[in-house]
Structure 1
């Protein structure tokens, strides 16, 4: 049977089959293993087949995906997933994406998809409102913090060089005035990756020591000038801490520096009663944040936000004689020319939650993180951070036991969180970011950790 379905009825039947299988998967959330079993992982061998000479039945391929693929998924949309900061997809956002995929739009510019252009514009305005950032800013909906950070840093460098009379678009970088980057030693790897891609050699980046909480130490900040890009953090990946924006950003702006804030998940604190942690952040020049973290949109969805729309639009412009658009079309604000409308799930998530819903979700997760921290302490673990938002950083008695605890928890299938390193010692990091996660799930995690500590769950070094 050909893989091409000429009959519309067959196409609809296949999509309905996929919907039924997806619904069945969703019904198992909370009951399946959070990380797949060895048996399920072994089942992935079913995909080791030669490229078919002739097309196979799409329904057969769908069955293979579900029957062998679904059991081998990591249940990141499960309330017991506490690993990397990945929020479960909100029903409204997931449903919007499902319809969006049926539309199959090229969401680069208005002519490719009027509906995408309109909704993404509304979503951009809502993002600026809920995060209380300068309303004149441009918002580009990209794939990830890496891509969006790269866009913002590229805009920063281009703007700085233009102020010094250098046209990077025409002249490139050879012979250009040097642009210095300053960032904290705890900066996220995606920031460093973006800098490497853009040609900022890490040996030439000025690394500032962190304080005891993982924040950039203002007393160690070097002299800044109008050729400096200063990268700050809203939500350090281990401790969840925030740089002192009120003290640091005015110093940077007085020197003429460009300030970029990596707020992949921490920026969402600004939409809640924890907004005080972000005081002064609105004075920066650019920000990045993810939708698939604390807003709970489907993966992959991120945002580059730039105070000066022309700076981002100039750096990312991809107009061509056959495809010109507004300077602020999404293809001119993001790395991707060919793109899907990632702003639509953002719109759906914000519309379904509203301001109060976003605040409630963020605040609940922060309270649950403190509940987990207290439970871990009572169980004999050492909590290493102040638990200012949704991150809990902890360890057992020593490195060996800490690593064994992480392994036991992951192998149990009852929860998942990851290992980390803090101050040169083994640790584990528990992140609370799923809309599905509530108090009972925090208690289940604490119960599991108590059992592991008492060796009721087997620990294998």
Structure 2
């Protein structure tokens, strides 16, 4: 009989850890954008499938060498594209342990530790955000699946009020559910609603102001125009401007018409922990909503992936998500079974990293992280706004900065490309009010004022170069 395989010193895991250590050590100074694109990396990885086994050490070394040029340094302190945080050390370590432990986090009976970590982290998050202590929490892959989870609960409750069991009878023949969304909503809202059977053409789009905030009176008129089950999706932190819907008004108007209010707060919900009264005021009334979705891999600085769905109506949440079978043991009275609160059964144990990040930062650390990032965003806006021909398009209330160069699409697009290819910083482009704009988001725990100043210098140099190309 062949000897049983076993883990030994000097294994592939140790070699991988050495590569990880090297990558992290070089992260602050490496070019922020990937050095090579998809085609080159694909060609390098695309070898014939081996007929036999390959030495794990060889695979790890060759994979690290092949993939490294195609890695965007999303953890860099000068990564300002999209809304992506870094990874705090405790969360990274916990994630590495979670991979090694290889727990299926679906059941408390299957992994008591994974389920308990999720439950404790969920309680901490509700406390930090000022949300109802009785609300239920599900840990998902990201905000999109958190939307699916929370809006699934909304769909259940909205139809149950009209005598319809959507989990048993589906949507065919059900009372029509009116869904109200802002004109500046995030695309993940639409994707989640499609997955739940609400076609995009059936959404009622509510007018927004110049910053992307839903107009409360426009919502009132839209709700009054019909009857029946209704769901309203509000937004805490517009992806371009960082603007917040007027949560207290939105919730009051919606509840007057019997509508469920769901809040897309992928990054904006964390304004609740700010030391700034002005920033905390942005989320005033948010506790009056019925459900909320946020991210772990943005301001909490967890590695991908982690989303959080919070639902005030625990019974609706469980009814929409829970599934059982004869082989699945029911949870004990005091147990948290994660499969009851998310669309997934078999899944990785994200709760360990979430627990570690929250415990590592603590309330004071999280407050400092949020306020420091907002201060860096303000510094970016002030410095860029002082450059000739650069217009800051938004009121920088949080961590988002939106700029346009020379009021010209081609010049703005050229600057974005030059900054990214230059490698000193990474920014992303967008279209705002039909005009090309540069978007910068600050949510990395390692970013300093020096990093902000380096990014501004890179952007200033790119502007000079772009003008020469576009207008020379």
Q: TM-score range by the shorter chain?
A: over 0.9
The superposition leaves residues 388-440 of structure 1 with CA deviations (integer Å, 9 ceiling, x where unpaired) of 10000011110010000001001101111111001001001000010011111
Q: 1:163 offset after TM fit, Å?
A: 1.2
TM alignment of 1:379-458, pairs within 5 A: 379-380=387-388, 381-397=390-406, 398-455=408-465
Contact conserved, 2:28 with 2:76, CA < 8 A, in 1? yes
Contact conserved, 1:86 with 1:292, CA < 8 A, in 2? yes
Contact conserved, 1:408 with 1:457, CA < 8 A, in 2? no
SS at match of 1:454: helix
Contact conserved, 1:81 with 1:416, CA < 8 A, in 2? yes
Corresponding residue of 2:318: 313
Contact conserved, 1:246 with 1:280, CA < 8 A, in 2? yes
SS at match of 1:402: helix
Q: 1:151 offset after TM fit, Å?
A: 1.1
Corresponding residue of 1:90: 88
Q: Distance in 2 between matches of 1:360 and 1:245?
A: 24
1:187 and 1:421, CA in 2 relative to 1: closer, same or farther beyond 3 A? same
- TM-score (ref. length: structure 1): 0.96
SS at match of 1:278: coil
Contact conserved, 2:242 with 2:400, CA < 8 A, in 1? yes
Q: 1:375 offset after TM fit, Å?
A: 0.8
Corresponding residue of 2:6: 7
Tell me how large the CA RMSD over aligned residues is. 1.9
Q: Kindly indicate whether residue 144 of structure 2 is the aligned counterpart of residue 146 of structure 1.
A: yes
The superposition leaves residues 353-376 of structure 1 with CA deviations (integer Å, 9 ceiling, x where unpaired) of 100100000000001101000111
Contact conserved, 1:145 with 1:190, CA < 8 A, in 2? yes
SS at match of 2:282: helix
Q: Distance in 2 between matches of 1:39 and 1:324?
A: 47
Q: Kindly indicate whether residue 205 of structure 2 is the aligned counterpart of residue 212 of structure 1.
A: no
Corresponding residue of 1:116: 114
1:241 and 1:137, CA in 2 relative to 1: closer, same or farther beyond 3 A? same
TM alignment of 1:22-421, pairs within 5 A: 22-38=20-36, 42=40, 44-221=42-219, 222-223=222-223, 227-273=229-275, 274-326=279-331, 328-380=336-388, 381-397=390-406, 398-421=408-431
Q: 1:70 offset after TM fit, Å?
A: 1.6
Contact conserved, 1:109 with 1:325, CA < 8 A, in 2? no
1:39 and 1:392, CA in 2 relative to 1: closer, same or farther beyond 3 A? closer
Q: 1:292 offset after TM fit, Å?
A: 0.3
The superposition leaves residues 265-314 of structure 1 with CA deviations (integer Å, 9 ceiling, x where unpaired) of 10111111322110000000000000000000110100010001111111
1:249 and 1:264, CA in 2 relative to 1: closer, same or farther beyond 3 A? same
- TM-score (ref. length: structure 2): 0.94
Q: Mean alpha-carbon deviation: is it higher for 423-432 or for 225-234?
A: 225-234
1:50 and 1:243, CA in 2 relative to 1: closer, same or farther beyond 3 A? same
Contact conserved, 2:216 with 2:253, CA < 8 A, in 1? no
Q: Mean alpha-carbon deviation: is it higher for 399-408 or for 336-345?
A: 336-345
Unaligned runs of 5+ in 2: none
The superposition leaves residues 129-151 of structure 1 with CA deviations (integer Å, 9 ceiling, x where unpaired) of 11111010111000011111011
Q: Distance in 2 between matches of 1:179 and 1:254?
A: 16
SS at match of 2:294: strand
Contact conserved, 1:209 with 1:217, CA < 8 A, in 2? yes
Q: 1:226 offset after TM fit, Å?
A: 5.6
Q: Distance in 2 between matches of 1:266 and 1:257?
A: 22
Q: 1:454 offset after TM fit, Å?
A: 2.3
Contact conserved, 1:263 with 1:288, CA < 8 A, in 2? yes
Q: Distance in 1 between matches of 2:366 and 2:469?
A: 38
SS at match of 2:233: strand
Q: 1:13 offset after TM fit, Å?
A: 2.2
How many residues are matched? 458
1:81 and 1:5, CA in 2 relative to 1: closer, same or farther beyond 3 A? farther
Contact conserved, 2:373 with 2:443, CA < 8 A, in 1? yes
